[in-house]
A = this chain, B = another copy of it.
């Protein structure tokens, strides 16, 4: 699960929080003092991010050991002991906050994603994330979406073609933009935003593989599905929330992408207590 990008995120997190050292522990905790601590759920949520917690402690002190009692994606309940960590007390304290910050956020994302996923149960539509993530946290955050039952849209500007309003303006229309992309790339799907059914037809004509219906009304989305079904993957996007998602899903679109999964997820409550 580790890669060089994740290593940089964890390096930066530790550099930022520990800096030249944890002065409180230095003053109070004897150097070789050993301890055990439990990671405890203080509310119900979907667990996601323990592999990153492991890497944080491993980067701080390879001597730390961890026993994890729940699988990723498990529905933990308030009061559950998620994991037990043991080793040098100073190392446990040094990694506590970074670990909780990650775990609280990634579990928060998984939990929120799961709420959306449940709203569309029984339908074939998939819930997807966006690039509206916190800088430096994209891999972790998109992982959280996956654990919650969603799928990942492109990771960055480098691994998916997505023609947006600003591109369309430069190219001089949806059709021209899609055709430029198709001519230039053969091995990636071409996705384009459209704002109207007319633009949708242009996109289909030009051979777009995926069409994002940007902020369309539900009646228009229904028409879009009629027009495009079987010819392109349809993605609904824009102002999706727990109230309106079922209606959007029932239009028959294939994917609903939701920026809020990452940009507005709230941390769940988790603590670490020495035992």
Contacts and interface: CB of A to CB of B under 8 A. Distances in A.
A35 B100 CA distance: 34
A121 to B, nearest CB: 18
Interface stretch (A15-23, A197-205, A243-251): A15-23
Contacts of A154: 187
A254 B182 CA distance: 14
Interface in A28-52: 28-29, 33, 35, 37
Interface stretch (A5-13, A75-83, A220-228): A5-13
A98 to B, nearest CB: 6
Interface residues of A, number: 92
Interface of A: 3-5, 8-29, 33, 35, 37, 89, 92-94, 96-98, 100-102, 104-105, 126, 128, 131-139, 151, 153-167, 169-171, 177, 180-181, 184-189, 191, 210, 233, 254-255, 259, 263-264, 266-267, 272-274
Given A19-B156, A20-B155, A27-B180, 7 more contacts: A21-B157, A24-B163, A29-B167, A134-B136, A137-B137, A165-B273, A263-B267
B126 A186 contact: yes
Contacts of A266: 263-264, 266
10 contacts: A17-B135, A17-B138, A17-B156, A20-B155, A28-B180, A93-B167, A101-B132, A134-B137, A159-B160, A166-B273
